[in-house]
Amino acid sequence: MTNRQNRSEALTSPSVARNRDPILNVLGRILPQSGTVLEIASGTGEHAAYFAAALPHLTWQPTDQDDSALKSIAAHRAASGLPNLLAPLRLNAASPDWPVERADALVAINMVHISPWRATQGLMAGAGRLLSSGGVLYLYGAYKESGAHTAPSNEVFDADLRRRNPEWGVRDLEAVAELARAYGLELVERIPMPANNLSLVFRR
């Protein structure tokens, strides 16, 4: 990638401007004081650029499985000029072969409900493999609790996701926590976020 990275490849998502500061407030508190954060499903790359700028003591490794996302992340990285924001890597969470062998923390924002369940299974397996004891996995998104949606808007969102792809959908918090436990990760914090989302903090 060069500074000539095509700016038209830099995608934007309207939700990022709304959720990046509430998410940053949590990340600033729960992420370690040094080390590498592996971001899964970085999407446009806007979060990666914003968080890397705000958390200069951390190295940020963005990833995604999708070509247009990888190009967009690279374009945002080039525009940012940040030394602690690494070039994006192709990573399919569902695959057992990840291009990274260790990380000090993992972050996945709006992935669990917008991917098949096997991606979440792969995410938990990867977190179990990469994180050492005390390492953090951070998830952000909409979740059902005790089998029920937490807001009518989430129910509408869930139906829309399933219409777009029958393998997508708002997951049960309990099912995600149980899956995490199978890979040695404990849900240690559940933080209500704006627009009926949750921040979930797991520790290895």
Ligand X SMILES: C[S@@+](CC[C@H](N)C(=O)[O-])C[C@H]1O[C@@H](n2cnc3c(N)ncnc32)[C@H](O)[C@@H]1O
Shortest CB 78 distance to ligand X, Å: 18
Which residue's beta carbon is nearest to the bound ligand X? Answer: 43
Compare residues 164 and 186 and give the one whose CB is closer to ligand X: 164
Joined tokens for residue 168: 């997508």
User: CB of residue 167 vs ligand X: minimum separation in angstroms?
Assistant: 10
Run of H or E including 198: strand 197-203
Q: How far is the CB of 68 from ligand X (least distance, A)?
A: 8
- Please give the torsion angle defined by the CA atoms of residues 98, 102, 105 and 110, in that order, rounded to the nearest 10 degrees: 0
Residue among 126 and 135 whose Cβ is closer to ligand X: 126
- Smallest separation (angstroms) from ligand X to the CB of 22: 12
Query: Tell me, what amino acid is at 61?
Result: Q
When the beta carbons of 6 and 68 are compared against ligand X, the nearer one is 68
Among 150, 127, 151, CA closest to 137: 127
As a residue count, the chain comes to: 204
Residue closer to ligand X, measured from CB, 153 or 186: 153
Distance of alpha carbon 49 from alpha carbon 27, whole angstroms:
14
Closest separation between CB of residue 105 and ligand X, Å? Answer: 15
Rounded to whole angstroms, how far apart are CA atoms 15 and 32?
Answer: 26
User: Which residues here bind ligand X, judged by CB under 6 A?
Assistant: 13, 16, 40-44, 47, 64-66, 69, 91-94, 109-111, 114-115, 119
Residue with Cβ nearer ligand X (9 or 66): 66
- The span from the CA of 44 to the CA of 107, in Å, is 15
